[in-house]
A and B are shown apart, each in its own frame.
Chain A
Amino acid sequence: MSTISDPPSGSFQLSMLINDTRYRSYTFQFIALILLILAFGYLGSNLLANLKAAGLNISYQFLGEPAGYDINQTLIPYTSQSTHWQASLVGVLNTLLVAFLGCLMATVIGVVVGVLRLSDNWLVRQLMSIYVEIFRNVPVLIWILIIMAVFIAVLPQPRDFRGEDAEASMVLGMFAFTGRGFYTPAPIFGVGSGFVVAVFLASIAGIFAFRNYAKKALYERGRLIPTFWPSVAIFFIPSILAYFILGRPISLEYPELKGFNFQGGIFMRNSLIALWFALSIYTAAFIAENVRAGILAVSKGQTEAAASLGLRPGRIMNLVVLPQALRVIIPPLISQYLNLTKNSSLAIAVGYMDLTGTLGGITLNQTGRAIEAIFLLMLFYLAISLAISAIMNVYNNAVKLKER
């Protein structure tokens, strides 16, 4: 039986593909691969054969034809005479917008809730548990519909703002909260406003530079420089000074009730807000659990050691626990971001024109090119998801434990 460690060379037999452990796994993998290829080949050829039998073909020409329909929220120029491709791009941008806003808000709520779930306060702890369990265990589609229904039923409609003793009025004369969405003043950039914006951006960069300097001072010389109030000062003072010195170049355009709707200002549609809010609070419940798991994964000894050095609880959390917890939190957080992005395809339930609503909805319907549209839709979502995944992996690599 010494042949196992010293096989006779040049005597390969076909039966060894099954009986020899060195080849067996390759044999089975190869068979599985062949079967997989055959299965997909069968499905593909079947599709083609049936399309042919039904007199249909695969063609993407429709992407260049005028779409013919209007979209309410367009981040890029679009009219009903634009092409289906342009309509798809409008949809992609709307998907990305709600996904970005949703991920941002979900992260903020999720981290806060996750930390508070470990609070010493019994009431806070229980409230957060209730939040997590309720929002995690009801389908997100239902949350979207509930929030939209409440939104429309509770808030006044533009027509309620009309007349002498109207039922509703604008907040501060600037903001209108209606069942159709929120209207806020829009900035109008006049001459010289570019300089104000530049000052503002520079002061944000300045805040980061200042905080870096403070950190360096703390680590190298052990000097603790206060950062909060100086940051606030850097944020506001230069921009406000520039604004007044240049003679107030930026003015506000207030929304006004004209005809059927408010005109002017920035309009955030109810569909965007409802979808954004529903996706955020739903995903935040999952993120909260990830955060809690991450914090619990940091050894209690770390907290105790930090406390014995004299750090206060807030600093222990920010400086010792969270940086270590992030390594555990980020990988599942990526999945939550991807989930949120894909869940945004439920947008049509509230009439938000995302990618599924334009390319996978109206375009598909008006052209009847179901297979082509669905295939393109899958490609778009795949690309978006892979991009999010790639960006988050870069971040993960930056914070993960560096082994030297």
Chain B
Amino acid sequence: MKKLAILGAMTAAGLSAGVASAATLDDVKARGKLNCGVTTGLVGFAAPNANGEWEGFDVGVCRAVAAAVLGDPTAVEFVPTTGKTRFTALASGEIDMLARNTTWTFSRDVDLGFEFVGINYYDGQGFMVPKELGVSSAKELDGATVCIQTGTTTELNLADFFRANNISYEPVPIETNAEAQPLYLEGACDVYTTDASGLAATRAAFENPGDHVVLPEIISKEPLGPLVRHGDNQWGDIVRWSLNALIAAEELGVTSANVAEMSAAAGSNPEINRLLGTEGTLGEMLGLEADWAVKAISAGGNYGELFEKNIGENTPIGLARGLNAQWTEGGLLYSPPFR
């Protein structure tokens, strides 16, 4: 089945000659919908809610881009992808962009022919174990059975970590986060490892989150960000600056609540004016309308609002801003200037 799907995607890529490389913007506009690749379901980042509507932090990025390009944050077709299918889906043109907590690595950027447009979450790989095992450090995991999502960078980090510490483990490869949960809860594996944010999201979905602890070790750098195909620079710019607009909006104090008021007329801060299109021609340069950023910000709020609403400390996932705070507040978020 899976083989067929990949082959089908490859054939589709072969047949739709030229589509994949040329103007994605025109395709999206002609279609009236943005095809956005997301996970198959990770609460807080991308998961359908009770009404079947996708919501989450990564979904927010998709909606912001759709709003900037098409003016409608709901004009998104969410395509669920697994760790294995995501790159084929993007390379074949099945999706226009991928916002699926994907780690930015050298080989993915250079060798696979993709373009990472930025980082929307600074993450690292962690371990979760049941409290009753009494483990306090990842170095005590000698001989443990570890559940791991296959086709991810975590698989390689895990091998490196255990090799570097000269301890052994038994990997249990699984395809999706949803499949991992029952295995971990039934005790078929002692440890579940993935990005720390994913662990927090998974733990939040448990019946008794308190019975499980996330170990202090973070064994890798996992800068997660949206990516597009290599070769269509205009489209890459649009996605990049849509993300930057969300980050800059938080820094400049533009929120979904005050964006309408601030964009009604030019204000006193020239950078806000340029961002919101009341001054200058930034939207035109991107090939979009002048108020593109206004629409992107109104879609779900600025970066901080998206964070608080989906994965912040007041949600069941309860992630602190940490590295993902603005640079002015000791974090790593730093949008290049809108000029």
Residue B163 CB within 8 A of the other chain: yes
Instruction: Using CB atoms, name the residue of chain A closest to B186.
Output: A152
Establish whether residues A361 and B151, one from each chain, have CB atoms under 8 Å apart when the complex forms. yes
Query: Which residues of chain A are within 8 angstroms of B132 by Cβ–Cβ distance?
Result: 159
Establish whether residues A356 and B2, one from each chain, have CB atoms under 8 Å apart when the complex forms. yes
Number of interface residues of A (CB under 8 A): 55
B-contact bits for A101-142, CB 8 A (1 contact / 0 none): 000000000000000000000000000000000000000010
A-contact bits for B154-185, CB 8 A (1 contact / 0 none): 01101110110000011111110000001100
Residue A371 CB within 8 A of the other chain: yes
Establish whether residues B175 and A348, one from each chain, have CB atoms under 8 Å apart when the complex forms. yes
* Nearest Cβ on chain B to A272's Cβ, whole angstroms: 12
Residue A374 CB within 8 A of the other chain: yes
Residue A259 CB within 8 A of the other chain: yes
B-contact bits for A263-290, CB 8 A (1 contact / 0 none): 1000000110000000000000000000
Establish whether residues A368 and B107, one from each chain, have CB atoms under 8 Å apart when the complex forms. yes
Q: Of B82-90, B289-297, B319-327, which binds chain A? A: B82-90
Establish whether residues B143 and A259, one from each chain, have CB atoms under 8 Å apart when the complex forms. yes
Residue B91 CB within 8 A of the other chain: yes
Establish whether residues A70 and B15, one from each chain, have CB atoms under 8 Å apart when the complex forms. no
Instruction: Using CB atoms, name the residue of chain A closest to B111.
Output: A368
Q: Of A25-33, A46-54, A244-252, A302-310, which binds chain B? A: A46-54
Residue B142 CB within 8 A of the other chain: yes
* Nearest Cβ on chain A to B268's Cβ, whole angstroms: 46
Establish whether residues A69 and B143, one from each chain, have CB atoms under 8 Å apart when the complex forms. no
Query: Which residues of chain A are within 8 angstroms of B150 by Cβ–Cβ distance?
Result: 348, 351, 357, 361-362, 365
Establish whether residues A71 and B171, one from each chain, have CB atoms under 8 Å apart when the complex forms. yes
Establish whether residues B173 and A357, one from each chain, have CB atoms under 8 Å apart when the complex forms. yes
Instruction: Using CB atoms, name the residue of chain B closest to A377.
Output: B3
Instruction: Using CB atoms, name the residue of chain A closest to B84.
Output: A365
Residue among A69, A72, A260 with most chain B CB within 10 A: A260
Q: Decide if the interface of chain A is mainly helix, strand, loop or mixed.
A: helix
* Nearest Cβ on chain B to A60's Cβ, whole angstroms: 14
Residue B264 CB within 8 A of the other chain: no
Establish whether residues B18 and A53, one from each chain, have CB atoms under 8 Å apart when the complex forms. yes
Query: Which residues of chain A are within 8 angstroms of B182 by Cβ–Cβ distance?
Result: 149, 152
Selected contact of A55 from candidates B1, B113, B133, B156, CB within 8 Å? B113
Selected contact of A261 from candidates B91, B107, B108, B145, CB within 8 Å? B145
Establish whether residues A261 and B188, one from each chain, have CB atoms under 8 Å apart when the complex forms. no
CA A259 – CA B141 in complex, angstroms?
Answer: 9
Selected contact of B7 from candidates A69, A81, A260, A374, CB within 8 Å? A374
Number of interface residues of B (CB under 8 A): 58
* Nearest Cβ on chain A to B133's Cβ, whole angstroms: 7
Query: Which residues of chain B are within 8 angstroms of A365 by Cβ–Cβ distance?
Result: 83-84, 87, 150-152
CA A261 – CA B172 in complex, angstroms?
Answer: 14
Instruction: Using CB atoms, name the residue of chain B closest to A48.
Output: B14
Establish whether residues A366 and B156, one from each chain, have CB atoms under 8 Å apart when the complex forms. yes
Establish whether residues B84 and A364, one from each chain, have CB atoms under 8 Å apart when the complex forms. yes
Residue A68 CB within 8 A of the other chain: yes
Establish whether residues A260 and B15, one from each chain, have CB atoms under 8 Å apart when the complex forms. no
Assuming the A-B contacts A69-B155, A361-B150, A370-B6, are A157 and B14 also in contact, with contact meaning beta carbons closer than 8 angstroms in the complex? Answer: no
Interface residues of B in 186-240 (CB under 8 A from A): 186-190, 229-231
Residue A255 CB within 8 A of the other chain: no
Interface residues of B in 1-48 (CB under 8 A from A): 1-3, 6-7, 10-11, 13-15, 17-18, 20-21
Interface residues of B in 104-140 (CB under 8 A from A): 107-108, 111-113, 132-133
Residue B144 CB within 8 A of the other chain: yes
CA A68 – CA B83 in complex, angstroms?
Answer: 17
Assuming the A-B contacts A47-B14, A180-B188, A374-B10, are A70 and B171 also in contact, with contact meaning beta carbons closer than 8 angstroms in the complex? Answer: yes
* Nearest Cβ on chain B to A273's Cβ, whole angstroms: 13
Selected contact of B113 from candidates A54, A270, A346, A366, CB within 8 Å? A54
Establish whether residues B87 and A179, one from each chain, have CB atoms under 8 Å apart when the complex forms. no
* Nearest Cβ on chain B to A103's Cβ, whole angstroms: 21
Instruction: Using CB atoms, name the residue of chain B closest to A157.
Output: B187
CA A275 – CA B307 in complex, angstroms?
Answer: 42
Selected contact of B145 from candidates A80, A180, A368, CB within 8 Å? A180
Selected contact of B20 from candidates A54, A157, A351, A377, CB within 8 Å? A54
Query: Which residues of chain A are within 8 angstroms of B91 by Cβ–Cβ distance?
Result: 54, 370
Residue among A72, A149, A353 with most chain B CB within 10 A: A72
Assuming the A-B contacts A54-B113, A361-B84, A368-B112, are A80 and B163 also in contact, with contact meaning beta carbons closer than 8 angstroms in the complex? Answer: yes
Residue A232 CB within 8 A of the other chain: no
Establish whether residues B156 and A68, one from each chain, have CB atoms under 8 Å apart when the complex forms. yes
CA A153 – CA B189 in complex, angstroms?
Answer: 13
7 A-B contact pairs sorted by A residue (CB < 8 Å): A43-B11, A50-B14, A72-B170, A157-B187, A346-B1, A351-B150, A362-B150
Interface residues of B (CB under 8 A from A): 1-3, 6-7, 10-11, 13-15, 17-18, 20-21, 83-84, 87-88, 91, 107-108, 111-113, 132-133, 141-145, 150-152, 155-156, 158-160, 162-163, 169-175, 182-183, 186-190, 229-231
A54-B230, A153-B186, A260-B190 known; 6 new pairs, CB 8 Å cut-off, are A49-B17, A50-B17, A68-B159, A80-B156, A159-B132, A159-B187
